[in-house]
Amino acid sequence: MLNHLVELEDVIRGILGLLDNPPNGLTTDEWTIVKELIQVLHPFEEATKVISGSKYMTTSIIIVIAQGHKNICEQMIKNNFRIKVINVLQELLNNMKHRDRWGTIENSKTLVRCTFLDPQF
């Protein structure tokens, strides 16, 4: 949805410019934040597609995806994003590190076995 919004940025700005009493549009900084959030959320979108795919054994990829998301967020936090986007990344990381579900995934014998036995890993 955010991708579509960004694709229509020029159209939205143009239409707002034609109106006599336009509503407040997004500022240039807010458009930049939306574009940066698209980058941050893209890995989560891809993971959702993979997990939702009926062609995959999703149990075997849970550990890989969870660890991958932590690593990606840690790398993205080093990027030159706006402070609001950095705050979103920090919140994501904090939730991943402090949630019981995320913290014990690697300790699940069932998940470890499934990942180990999957030939794609």
Question: Residue 83 and residue 15: Cα distance in Å, rounded?
Answer: 29
Looking at residue 102, what is its pLDDT?
62
Distance CA 90, CA 97 (A): 10
Residue 103: per-residue pLDDT: 62
Q: What angle do CA 102, 104, 89 make, to 5 degrees?
A: 20
Radius of gyration, alpha carbons of the chain: 19
Using the structure block, give the residue that is written with the tokens 């919140």.
91
Low-confidence ranges of the chain (pLDDT < 70): 54-57, 99-103, 119-121
What are residue 2's phi and psi, to 5 degrees? Answer: -65, -35
Residue 60: predicted pLDDT: 78
Q: Which two tokens stand for residue 114?
A: 């499934």
What is residue 49's predicted lDDT score, i.e. its pLDDT?
A: 86
Please state the pTM of the whole predicted model. 0.77
pLDDT of residue 73: 92
Phi-psi region of 60 (alpha: psi -120 to 50; beta: other; left: phi over 0): alpha
**3-state secondary structure at position 20:** coil
pLDDT in tens, 88-120: 999 998 888 776 656 677 777 887 887 777 766
Predicted pLDDT of residue 54: 62
